[in-house]
């Protein structure tokens, strides 16, 4: 095995952990959760910056996967689903996840120029993006996916993201509650 193989796997696992943290922070941010130590703007800034760091790890993961000649993955396979001859389904799911992530990124960069409703609709695709990335990693991981510590890491990520999404689905947005008159005994 060459260094690119190890870098590709390591950055893929790191991206999964970081992406999980981004999903959890996204759930916290969208629920407008805050505390005196962590005001909403700080949580939102951390979410945004961690998203960018995650994209960096993902870029290295994709680049090293393509540059490493072992699997023969082409650049087009990173963005066009199901065209690779190497694990076409798993790589296709990774490509879909990456495409959705790019849509979230570009819509966030264009947020001042697009409606909040459009931005939010695109941003909701991140809840689909994350599980696709998990399945991609687990299916294409080969022997790595069978290692106990990788499975524990994967299960930890799934539990954390699922808990955050379930919690977010059960929490009402404070602005919605205020409009309904249910906050503060209204």
For 146-172, what is each residue's pLDDT tens digit?
Answer: 889 999 999 999 999 999 989 888 887
Nearest-angstrom CA–CA distance, 152 and 148: 6
| In contact, 23 and 130? CB cutoff 8 Å | yes
Which spans in the chain are helix H?
3-30, 40-67, 88-109, 116-123, 126-140, 148-170, 174-180
Average confidence (pLDDT) over 59-70: 93
Are residues 139 and 87 in contact, defined by beta-carbon separation less than 8 angstroms?
Answer: yes
Q: Tens of pLDDT along 44-61?
A: 889 899 999 999 999 999
Rounded Cα distance between 50 and 130, Å, is 15
Tokens of 10: 């390591």
Residue 143: what pLDDT?
73
pLDDT of residue 179: 52
Distance CA 108, CA 87 (A): 31
Rounded CA separation 99/78 (Å)? 9
Closest CA to 19 of 45, 72, 56: 56
Instruction: Determine the pLDDT at residue 185.
Output: 46
Is pLDDT at 1 greater than 80 in this prediction? no
pLDDT level of residue 28 (50, 70, 90 thresholds): confident
Percent of the chain with pLDDT over 90: 59
Taking residues 15-39, report their average pLDDT. 85
The average pLDDT across 85-112 equals 93
- Contact yes or no for 139/90 (Cβ under 8 A): yes
């Amino acid at each position: 095995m060459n260094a690119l193989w190890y870098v590709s796997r390591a950055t893929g696992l790191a991206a999964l952990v970081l992406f999980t943290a981004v999903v959890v922070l996204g759930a916290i941010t969208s629920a407008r959760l805050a505390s005196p130590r962590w005001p909403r703007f700080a949580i939102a800034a951390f979410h945004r910056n961690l998203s960018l760091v995650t994209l960096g790890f993902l870029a290295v993961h994709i680049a090293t996967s393509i540059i490493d000649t072992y699997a023969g993955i082409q650049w087009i396979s990173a963005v066009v689903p199901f065209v690779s001859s190497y694990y076409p389904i798993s790589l296709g799911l990774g490509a879909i996840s990456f495409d959705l992530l790019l849509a979230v990124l570009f819509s966030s960069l264009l947020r001042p120029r697009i409606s909040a409703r459009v931005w939010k609709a695109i941003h909701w695709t991140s809840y689909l993006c994350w599980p696709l990335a998990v399945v991609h990693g687990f299916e294409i991981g080969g022997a790595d996916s069978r290692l106990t510590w990788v499975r524990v890491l994967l299960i930890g990520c799934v539990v954390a993201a699922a808990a955050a999404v379930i919690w977010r689905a059960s929490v009402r947005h404070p602005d919605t509650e205020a409009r309904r008159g249910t906050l503060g005994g209204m």
